[in-house]
Amino acid sequence: LQHHTEAPSPSSLPPSALPLDVLNNAVAGFSTVEELIRYLEPDRWQLDLEDLYRPTWQLLGKAYIHGRKSRVVDLNLLKEEVRLYSCTPRNFSVSLREELKRTDTIFWPLCLLVKRCGGNCACCHQSCNECQCVPTKVTKKYHEVLQLKPRIGVRGLHKSLTDVPLEHHEECDCVCKGNTEG
């Protein structure tokens, strides 16, 4: 009788048995320490979480010993801070003449604030050589401004209130620059 065994698929392996790059990509998707520990140890995650926050002197980091941290490290807060300052919509000042490509008119105010994607993508997927922050949801918003246009054949400026459409980025994400595989 011939026996042949199949290699287990990555999904059937326990997380700790996955190759590090696969595990790293899986771990990157969790928002809280609780979710991460539940994924790593589904049967005993609550105990592991308690153990994680229970100080043992030989394992305490320097920050504990020097009194710079509270007894409970708030890893969720650290993760949230990274999310806030990574690739997210943020205020940018744009010149209306440049944004609207209008050299024949003056707008007041000259600049407006719009939401545009910004920040870094340092924690991008392992399989990507270079990531960039790009909008994934874009809306057009109208802003009322004063428009000043030269009058043809007459001295002075034609003044009017006008609505100008500006692109606002609602959601952003880090994506691989180009389609190169790492």
Helix or strand holding residue 47 (H, E): helix 45-53
- Per domain, the residue ranges of the chain are 1-85, 87-182
Phi, psi (5° rounding) for residue 134? -130, 155
> What is the Cα–Cα distance from 44 to 41, expressed in whole angstroms?
6
Query: How do residues 88-138 score in pLDDT, each as one tens digit?
Result: 999 999 999 999 998 888 899 889 999 999 988 877 766 777 889 999 999
Which CATH architecture describes the domain 87-182? Ribbon (2.10)
Report the predicted TM-score, pTM, of the whole model to 2 decimal places. Answer: 0.59
Query: How do residues 133-175 score in pLDDT, each as one tens digit?
Result: 999 999 999 999 999 888 888 777 788 899 999 999 999 988 8
> What is the Cα–Cα distance from 35 to 163, expressed in whole angstroms?
46
Res. 61 pLDDT band, cuts 50 70 90: low
Tokens of 39: 């994924």
Per DSSP, the residues of 138-179 read: EEEEEEEEEEEEEPTTSSSEEEEEEEEEEEEEEEEEEEESTT
∠ CA 77-175-177, nearest 5°, is 135
> What is the Cα–Cα distance from 109 to 152, expressed in whole angstroms?
23
